[in-house]
Chain A
Amino acid sequence: MRGAIGVAFAALMVAGCATTGTGSKDDGTRVRIAEDPFPSTYQRYSGAPTLITGVTILDGEGGRIDNGQVYFADGKIQAVGQTVAAPAGAQVIDGTGKYVTPGVIDIHSHLGDYPSPGVAAHDDGNEATAPARPEVWAEHSVWPQDSGFSRALANGGITALQILPGSANLFGGRSVVLKNVPARTVQGMKMPGAPYGLKMACGENPKRVYGEKGGPATRMGNIAVTRQTWINARAYKRKWDEYEKNGGDPPDQDLAMDTLKGVLEGKILVQNHCYRADEMAQMIDLSKEAGYKISAFHHAVESYKIADLLRANGICAAMWADWYGFKMEAYDAIPENIAFVDRAGACAIVHSDDPNGIQRLNQEAAKAMAAGRRAGIPISEEHAWTWLGMNPAKALGIFDRVGSLKSGKDADVVLWNGNPFSTYTRPERVWIDGALMYDANNPKLRPVSDFELGQPGEGDVK
């Protein structure tokens, strides 16, 4: 195994040789680390220019238009307003009584890495062989045939999602952001230009998994290993920086350290599994020492206790609406968590971490909004949708492209058959980059994965 990786390293080193012209002493033979060796091959599918009229618009960044219009064409949102200009040839959809939102973004999913069926042969989410494995990439485990993708599309209006490695490790590896389109390869789903993430974890899971495998076995052990790993990463980065600047013998490439170097350079965003308030505070201090920024805490069930700290440090919290009590670090979860974080001015996100929850993320947002309102916090529907739109997009570094209905953005759009905060509402149509990928009224517009072909229930409404 080790040998095989060594060979891969060598191959990559050769492949990575390229001229870039940066650095005064670079004579064109300078070794470069390939930053995108598995490039996206995603191409948008074709879509008709579409105008939706008479619809309630929640724009995903806090705006609302009643009886409004949305026009999209060529894969992009063209116009959103009370009335908009659209060419005569555009397909017109009467949205009266319905809602339009940007496509739902789930910042925390393991679809493909823990696919259905959940047999051991598919158990590809945790490289639980050492506490720090930042060299693994979630995309290399993603099985595009996971039926969960289509369920998330059809029932949840999910158009983009981050696939993360699991939380067994302190450093779980790189995440990948996908557009929720059926594809033969993961490259065909990768959202072009979306930054990578680094999955980190604190707390019970690494402690439990490695407690009997040589450690770390405690929270203090978790922090020690994490700090030491960053110390090593900074040294690695210094070596490469020195080489970039002055040439000489190239440093040995280390895939694990490449990922951490990418974090230290701000190119890779840290997505940190962490539940408890005190532990999140530890991780914030640790990140400052190491020299990186935490993009979002995930799960974050005690965010409400430190919402001020999250705001002050510009860190998002990705949370469940009502999960609680399944383990000790989830014991203090409260339904008002999301609303309290939001009220404090911090960036609140609703996430699923679950192949069932991802099908109803809109309903999870509704629960959180309702809990907040009952606690006396006035939260509008249009504001609550930022938890599914703008905020996850920001935490993923893709808000310039998705997460709200603004002209020029990707036409990832959901037409709901009613108020999407109602339990009774479902997506009626879902577009990704302007292409109609799901239509409740058209049985042919419902993906059937290879795995489902020829199986009981194939092509059913699900």
Chain B
Amino acid sequence: MADTVVISGGTVALGDGSAPIPNGQVVITDGRVVAAGDIRMKLPAGTRVIDATGKWVTPGIVAGFSRLGLVDVDAVDQTNDTSSDGPFSAALDVATAINPNAAPVAINRAEGITRAVVAPSAGKSIFAGQGALIDTAADADPVTRARLFQYVELGEQGAGQAGGSRTAAHVLLRNALREAQQVAGGGGSSRADSGRSAGGAGSDPVIANPNESRSYEARRNQDVLLTRFDALALVPVVRGRQILAVHVERAADLRQVIALKREFPALRLVIVGADEGWTVASELAAANIPVIASALSDLPAQFENLAATQSNIGRMRAAGVRVAIGTVNDDESRMAFRARYYAGNLVGLTRVPRASGLSWGEALKAITSAPAEVLGLTDIGSLTPGKRGDVVIWNGDPLDNMSAAEMVMIDGVEQPLVTRQTRLRDRYRDLERGALPEAYRH
């Protein structure tokens, strides 16, 4: 077994919803999980064995919703690439802006976040653009999956962007999807999105990456509202080849999103937010629309989430909705690492009378394999064989905020855990005046 690492002796949690396994083992070969759990493999001499006795081992945490890598300092505009006031909307592609050297990437990596779902935020349009899956590895190649989903604001924010009402947002949405259908049905060359064409080569004018300068002429009506780039970018959405992630919170808005599926059957919908999701949980489950929700939102912060409760995720889960935790409206450019505290809090809720939480295994799943599954990602999020080798060793229960990551592997590669914060900590560990100023302490 070339390039094999074995993590042995720790409490192993697979991230698939199951309970943790004491004294387990995780085997990674060539960047992939080979086996994990209550197993013992015969290891060739020279295999690297990491003793995790007394520690916990989990898949890397997947930030279910974030803007990681798009921002260094939120309030410094030049470092903040989350949204645009420019002419384009749906065509915007976060993959072009991800900065693997941004301080928050390293800080979240050191906290055990190995992958992050990264969404743009909406500028002038209800369409924010295309989100990606990234890794947090200390290398030059952060994007795991570009253009994973299109992100659209309905609800209060979308209403504002559309001109002041939800009605306007819905007409804009429908208009845009129809323009996209029109573009898709138009002539032009066929640069099918590689290998995934449903309509067969020749009938599919969609290019894999609309930002590549290979756009083509399409016949369109005179009253188009979208730029050609934006219309093209929505073609994969109307064809069901790209997820449409819709941010809504209110029960009535959730029902409108469910209704979209009847109108546009090909849409692959994911709902982001859903603070009032528990009130329509059975409808969400019946429509088989998965949800990425904030875990602890419990204030009527706006009129669109009057029914917010920390029991939201537990109740949706109990009703059969596929739910992942994301930091929605919650310092999402920097604080994705809080996902595991939030998951832990949902475990704590199971001890509060009448509240609904998650079992420990389900809570870990909500921040590992659930975000992956919600977004149709098959190769991350758990320690089942064949998955990417994203593994974290913790000094204790990873859902308890007293614990910390001690080793982080991404694609089987051990990652540095040094951050600006650890450097500052070490520089100011003592304040004794030395022979040279603090600036000489490295």
A and B are interacting partners: yes
Q: A325-B334, A422-B400 are in contact. Are A331 and B73 (CB under 8 A)?
A: yes
Of A325, A331, A356, A426, the residue contacting B351 (CB under 8 A) is A426
Q: Which of A147, A440, A460 contacts B299 (CB 8 A)?
A: A147
Q: Chain B at the A interface: mostly helix, strand, loop or mixed?
A: loop
Interface residues of A in 116-135 (CB under 8 A from B): 116-119
Q: Chain A residues near B296: list those with CB within 8 A.
A: 356, 359-360
Q: In the complex, are the beta carbons of A356 and B72 less than 8 A apart?
A: no
> Which A residues are in CB contact (< 8 Å) with B401?
363, 366-367, 370, 423
Cβ-based interface call for A452 (8 A): yes
Most buried by B among A323, A333, A374: A374
Knowing A308-B431, A440-B352, say if A363 contacts B341 (CB, 8 Å).
yes
Asked if residues B400 and A424 are in contact (CB atoms below 8 Å), the reply is yes
Contact A462 B399 (CB under 8 A): no
Q: Is there a chain B Cβ closer than 8 Å to A344's Cβ? A: yes
- Check B367 for interface membership: any CB of A closer than 8 A: no
> How far is B425's CA from A117's CA once the two chains are assembled, in angstroms?
38
Contacts A336-B425, A461-B354 given: A423-B399 contact, CB under 8 Å? yes
B300 CB contacts on chain A under 8 angstroms: 116-117, 147, 451-452, 455, 457
B196 within 8 A of A: no
Q: Are the CB atoms of A328 and B310 closer together than 8 Å? A: no
A443 at the interface (CB under 8 A from B): yes
Return the chain A residue nearest B310 by Cβ.
A462
Q: How would residues 262 to 306 of chain B score, 1 for a CB under 8 Å from any chain A CB and 0 otherwise? A: 000000000000001001000000000000000011111111001
Is A421 engaged at the interface, CB distance under 8 Å to the other chain? yes
Q: Which of A276-322 contact B (CB under 8 A)?
A: 304-308, 322
Q: Which residues of B contact A418 (CB under 8 A)?
A: 351
When chains A and B are docked, how far (Å) is the Cα of A293 from the Cα of B219? 73
Q: Which residues of A contact B205 (CB under 8 A)?
A: none
Distance of A356 Cα from B276 Cα, bound (Å): 17
Q: Which residues on the B side are within 8 Å of A452 (C-beta)? A: 300, 306
* Chain A residues, CB < 8 A from B338: 322
Flag B418-429 by CB within 8 Å of A: 1 or 0 each: 001100110011
| Chain B proximity mask over A428-443: 1 for CB below 8 Å, otherwise 0 | 0000000000001101
Smallest Cβ-Cβ distance to B345: which chain A residue: A423
Contact in complex: A460, B311 (CB < 8 Å): yes
Question: Within 8 Å of chain B (Cβ to Cβ): is A218?
Answer: no
Nearest to B404 among chain A residues (CB) is A374
Name the B residues within 8 Å of A455 (CB-CB). Answer: 300, 306-307
Q: Is the CB of A328 within 8 A of B75?
A: yes
Chain B residues in 8 Å Cβ range of A333: 421
Using A324-B107, A417-B351 as known contacts, say yes or no to A116 and B421 having CB atoms under 8 A apart: no
Instruction: Report the separation of the CA atoms of residues A367 and B338 in the bound assembly, to the nearest whole angstrom.
Output: 11
Cα–Cα distance between A457 and B299 once the two chains are bound (Å): 10
- Chain B 101-145: CB-based contact to A (< 8 A → 1; otherwise 0): 001100100000000000000000000000000000000000000
A49 in the interface (beta carbon within 8 A): no
Could you tell me the distance between the alpha carbons of A151 and B299 in the complex, rounded to whole angstroms?
Answer: 8
A363 to B347: give the CA distance in the assembly, Å: 14
Contact flag A456-B306 (CB < 8 Å), given A147-B300, A424-B351: yes
Q: Quick one: which of B424-438 are within 8 Å of A by CB?
A: 424-425, 428-429, 431, 438
Is B22 at the interface (CB under 8 A from chain A)? no
User: Are B307 and A119 neighbours in the complex by a CB distance under 8 Å?
Assistant: no
Answer yes or no: B29 CB below 8 A from chain A CBs: no
Q: Are B352 and A325 in contact (CB under 8 A)?
A: no
Q: Which of A423, A440, A461 has the most CB of B within 10 A?
A: A423
B341 touches A204 (CB 8 A): no
Chain A 84-121 interface 0/1 with B at a Cβ cutoff of 8 Å (1 = within): 00000000000000000000000000000000111100
B19 to chain A, nearest CB (A): 15
Tell me the residues in window 334-382 of chain A with beta carbons closer than 8 Å to chain B beta carbons: 334-336, 340, 344, 355-356, 359-360, 363, 366-367, 369-370, 374-375
How extensive is the interface on chain B, given as a class? 35 or more
Q: Given the known A-B contacts A305-B428, A331-B73, A332-B424, are A423 and B298 also in contact in the complex, defined by CB atoms under 8 Å?
A: no
Q: Is A425 an interface residue (CB 8 A)?
A: yes
Q: How far is the CA of A305 from the CA of B334 in the complex (A)?
A: 23
Complex: chain A residue closest to B302, CB-CB: A117
Taking a contact as CB atoms under 8 Å apart, the answer to whether A117 and B303 are in contact is yes
Chain B residues, CB < 8 A from A75? none
**Measured between alpha carbons, how far is A147 from B303 in the docked complex, in Å?**
13
Which of A324, A336, A375 has the largest number of chain B CB atoms within 10 A? A324
A366 to B344 alpha-carbon distance, docked (Å): 13
Please determine whether A325 and B72 come into contact, CB atoms closer than 8 angstroms.
Answer: yes
Q: Are A325 and B311 in contact (CB under 8 A)?
A: no
Query: How far apart sit A452 and B300, CA to CA, in the bound complex (Å)?
Result: 8
Across the interface, name the chain A residue whose C-beta is closest to B357. Answer: A424
Q: Which residues of A contact B431 (CB under 8 A)?
A: 305-308, 344
Q: Is residue B366 contacting chain A, with contact meaning CB distance below 8 A?
A: no
- A148 part of interface (Cβ distance < 8 Å): yes
Residue in A closest to B275 when the chains form the complex, CB atoms: A457
List, in ascending order, chain B residues with CB within 8 A of A423's CB: 341, 344-345, 347-348, 399-402
Complex interface: chain A residues within 8 A of B74 (CB):
325-327
Distance A312 CA – B216 CA, assembled complex (angstroms):
70
- Decide yes or no whether B384 CB sits under 8 A from chain A: no
Measured between C-beta atoms, what is the minimum distance from B407 to chain A in Å?
14
User: Which residue in A147, A344, A424 is a CB contact (below 8 Å) of B344?
Assistant: A424
Within 8 A of A (CB), among B221-266: 251
A374 contact set on B, CB distance < 8 A: 404
> Which residues on A sit within 8 Å (CB–CB) of B83?
none
A336 CB to nearest B CB, Å: 5
The answer on a CB contact under 8 Å between B302 and A325 is no
Tell me which residues from 16 to 50 in chain B have a Cβ below 8 Å from any Cβ of chain A. none
Question: In whole angstroms, how far apart are the Cα atoms of A344 and B351 in the complex?
Answer: 38
> Cβ of B353 < 8 Å from any Cβ of A?
yes
Give the CA-CA distance A48 to B151 in the complex, in Å.
Answer: 55
Q: How far is the CA of A460 from the CA of B251 in the complex (A)?
A: 16
A116-B299, A326-B75 known; A425-B103 Cβ under 8 A:
no
Most chain A beta carbons < 10 A, residue from B104, B330, B401, B404: B401
Expressed in whole angstroms, the minimum distance between the Cβ of B249 and any Cβ of chain A is: 11
Q: Is the CB of B348 within 8 A of A424?
A: yes
Cβ B73 vs Cβ A356 within 8 A: no
Determine the distance from Cα of A431 to Cα of B355 in the docked complex, in whole angstroms. Answer: 21
Decide yes or no: A116 and B301 within 8 Å by CB, A424-B348, A461-B311, A461-B355 being known contacts. Answer: yes
Across the interface, B309 reaches (CB within 8 A) one of A327, A335, A462, namely: A462
- Whole-angstrom CA separation of A440 from B349 in the bound complex: 11
Contact B353 A335 (CB under 8 A): no
Q: Which residues of A contact B355 (CB under 8 A)?
A: 461
Chain B positions near chain A (C-beta within 8 angstroms): 72-76, 103-104, 107, 251, 276, 279, 296-303, 306-311, 330-331, 334-335, 338, 341, 344-345, 347-349, 351-355, 399-404, 420-421, 424-425, 428-429, 431, 438
A324-B421, A455-B307 given; 5 more Cβ-contact pairs under 8 Å: A305-B438, A327-B74, A331-B73, A426-B349, A426-B351
CB pairs A–B below 8 angstroms (13 shown): A116-B301, A117-B300, A147-B299, A305-B428, A325-B73, A328-B73, A336-B425, A370-B403, A422-B402, A424-B347, A456-B251, A457-B279, A457-B306
